Structure 1
Amino acid sequence: MKFKALTLGILIASAGASQAATVNEVFNGKMLGTNQRYFESIAGVPRDSFRNDHTFVVQNCQITATIGDGKVTALRLDLGQGCEANLQSFIGEDAPKPGQTITPGVFGSGQRYTASCLAECGNAADPSAYALWQAPRSAGGMEVLMEMVLAGDKAMTAADEWEKQIKQAAGMDYVLATKFNCETRFNSIAEAVFKDVPVNAITVGYGLPTQRCN
C-alpha cells in the first residue's frame, strides 16, 4: 500500500508539473537561484543533461537550465516557432516589449560581441555570433547573452562584413585565431552590422560564459 501511494503521488506530481508548466513560468527571473528540485517540480524531467546544463521541453519550446551547486544560475531559451522570450521578469522596464522581435539593437548599444568562428569554420555545425548585454545596476546587473546562428541571410551578411573589416585591419591569421574575442577594438563594427539581426537563442543569468580566442 505504501508503494502504491508513493507511486500515485509521483504520478500526480508529474502530471501537475506538466499541466502547470508554461514557458513564461519556467523561463522566468524568479527561477534564478532556486534549487534544482523545485525547478524540476515546475519544468518537469529534463530531456537531456550535459555537465551543468539540463534541457527541458516546455510547450514545445527548449529551455536549458544551468545548475551549479544545486541552484539555477542561468536560463536559456531557443527562440522561433512560437517560442518567445518575455524578459520583463528578469530585467523589468529594460526588457523588449512582449512579442517584439529580439535583436541586439533593441538593447541599444554597449554590448560585447564574440563569435565561435568567422572564417574556415568547417561543416560540423553552423557557427554563431554572440552579443552580451548587461542590465543597469538598478536592474541588478543581470546579463543577457544573445546568440545569432550564422546561417540566415541577415546573420551571414553581418558576419561577412565583420570578418572583412577585421581581416583588412588585422590580417587573416587574426580572424582564424578568433583574436577578436579577446579584445574590443572591432566591437563597434559588430554592433553596427548585427543590430538588426534576429536572435536565435537567449540566455539570462550572471557570469555567463563568452567565446574565447585561440
Structure 2
Amino acid sequence: MMKVATRLGIATVLLSFGTAQAATVAEVFTGDMLGKNQRYFESIAGIAQESNGDEHTFKVQGCDVTATIEGGKVTRLRLETAPECQADLTRFVGSYAPAPGKPLTLGAFEASSGGVMVYSADCLSMCGNAFDPSVYALWEGPHAVNFMQVLLEIRLTSDEAIAAADAWTEQILKAKGEDFVNATNFNCDPQFAEGAKKAFAHVPVTAVTIGTGLASPGC
C-alpha cells in the first residue's frame, strides 16, 4: 500500500511540474530573451518543433514563435500573430510600441514609435504560386532601446491585404510602369513609402520579428 501511495505521489509531483513549466507567449516573446543562451531559452520555451539552420520554431500556447540562435545565443524572435497570438511589443521597445491588447497594424506602430519605417515587398506582381508574398515595414529604434529593430509583416492572403497591395501597386505603375514593379525596384525607391504607409495603415500585421541585423527584401 505504501509503494502504491509513493508512486502516486511521484506521479502527482511530475504532473504538477509539467503543468508549471508550460510557458506563455509573454514569457517567451520578450526582450528579456534576446541575448540569452539556447539552453536557457529552451528551458522556458520547450523543445523546438522545427529547425532550419539557425531558426528554431516553438509552439507556445498554440502560437508559433521562431528564435534565431547564432553562436549559442538568441539574436532574433519572430511571432506569427493571430487573434489568440498577440504581440506585446512594449516588452521589447517600451513606450515606442502601441499599447498591448489591440490588433497590431503598421499605422498603430508608426504612430507610437514616431519613427521612419522602410517599406518593401517580396513582390507585387508576377509572384507565382510557390509562396504567399508579404509586405514589410522595418523600424530601427533609438539608442534608448539599444537600436532594437522591429520588422512588421503583412502576408498578402486576406482580402484587406490584397486590396492594399493593389492600391500601392497602382500608384507605382502610374509613376514607373510595369517593368519597374516586376523588378521590385520600388523596394529601393523611398518616394513610394508614403503610398505603402497609406494603403496598409489599418491592415493587421501577420508576423513580427524583433532583434538586430534584420533584413527586408531589396530590389
Q: Give the Å deviation of 1:20.
A: 3.8
How many residues are treated as equivalent by the alignment?
201
TM (normalized to structure 2)?
0.86
Larger Rg, first or second structure (1 or 2): 2
Over aligned residue pairs, what C-alpha RMSD do you find?
Answer: 1.7
State the AA in 1 paired with 2:195: I
**Shift of residue 87 of structure 1?**
1.3
Aligned partner of 2:195 in structure 1 is 189
d(CA) in 2 for partners of 1:17 and 1:133? Answer: 37
TM-score when normalising by structure 1: 0.88
Task: After the TM superposition, list the runs of 4 or more consecutive aligned residues in structure 1 that deviate by more than 6 angstroms.
Answer: none
| 2-structure distance, mates of 1:79, 1:209 | 19
- Aligned partners of 1:184 and 1:210: how far apart in 2? 14
User: In structure 2, what is the Cα distance between the partners aligned to 1:63 and 1:205?
Assistant: 13
**Counterparts in 2 of 1:125-204, with a 5 A limit?**
125-204=131-210
The amino acid that maps onto 1:28 is T
2:184 alignment partner AA: T
Partner of 1:6: none
- Cα distance in 1, alignment partners of residues 149 and 184 from structure 2: 23
Cα distance 1:139–1:113, how it changes in 2: closer, same or farther (>3 A)? same
Match of 1:39 in 2: 41
Q: Which one-letter code corresponds to 1:193 in the other structure?
A: A
Shift of 1:135: 2.1
- Cα 1:17–1:33 change in 2 (3 A) is farther
Give 3-state SS (helix, strand or coil) of 1:163's partner. Answer: helix
For residue 185 of structure 1, give the secondary structure of its aligned residue in structure 2: helix
SS in 1 for 2:104: coil
Deviation at 1:17, TM superposition (A): 8.6
2:120 aligns to what? 114
SS state of the match for residue 204, structure 1? strand
* Counterpart in the other structure of 1:54: 56
Structure 1: state its 5+ residue gaps.
1-11
Structure 2 residue ranges without an equivalent (≥5): 1-13
Following superposition, the deviation at residue 18 of structure 1 comes to: 7.2
Contact 2:68/2:74 (8 A) holds in 1:
yes
Q: Provide the residue aligned with 1:4 in structure 2.
A: none
Structure 2 residue aligned with 1:206, among 189, 204, 212? Answer: 212
- Name the SS for the 2:190 alignment partner: coil
Q: Deviations along 1:100-156, whole A, 9 cap, x unmatched?
A: 110011122521101001002112222110011222322222111111011212211
Identity of aligned residues (%): 51
Alignment partners' CA distance in 2, 1:17 and 1:76: 25
